[in-house]
Copies of this chain bind each other. A is one copy, B any other.
Amino acid sequence: MPSPGTDPSPYSETMAYTHYTEIPADVAERAARVRLVVFDVDGTLTDGRLWYGEDGRETKVFHVHDGLGLKALQRNGVKVGIITARISHPVSLRAEELGIAHVYQGQKDKRACLTGLLDALRLAPEEAAFVGDDLPDLPAMGIVGLAVATANAHPWVAERAHWRTRLIGGYGAAREVADMILAAQGKAEAERDRWL
């Protein structure tokens, strides 16, 4: 049973970070091969909440911690993509800011979209990771080398993923994936040392 409820804000632990020695061997092996990480948007790069204004405009809420992770991936030769069923301008704005060129919105069939992207980049499915949280992500997660479910994922998605993040979407789950992949590829310490 859950604790009787807590503050939306106060005390907490640090961001989730998975040290190389904490990554399960089979996940580390899968992550070491990854050249492309594709993210769902709602529930994965956001917490799944949809903000509707009176004028019909939508607000999207991303996280600064995720942004640093997506930039670190690209700096280390891992491409980043976005595939989402919905369409909204903030997604384009955020992707542009992070230098993400592979952005596909309005995709009802995420697997088909991912397959096309793999072809264009001449990558094998085993070289790709897909990070998602709900049923429409399952087809794409089913073909990649590394399928990741965020902590807030539907149980049916979580049980079909190779790895689950500790953080929920929109609050650092994508950063956690980035940190883990870089750790599995032996590049985490160099990333950290850039700042020391």
Contacts and interface: CB of A to CB of B under 8 A. Distances in A.
Given A64-B42, A90-B54, A134-B68, A47 B5 contact: no
A47 B8 contact: yes
A135 B17 CA distance: 13
B54 A58 contact: yes
Interface in A1-38: 1-17
Range, interface on chain A:
35 or more
Contact of A64 (B14, B50, B139, B191): B50
A120 B27 CA distance: 51
State the main secondary structure of chain A at its contact with B.
Answer: loop
A151 interface: yes
B3 A136 contact: no
Interface in A57-97: 57-65, 67-68, 86, 88-90, 93-94
B16 A11 contact: yes
Interface in A80-122: 86, 88-90, 93-94
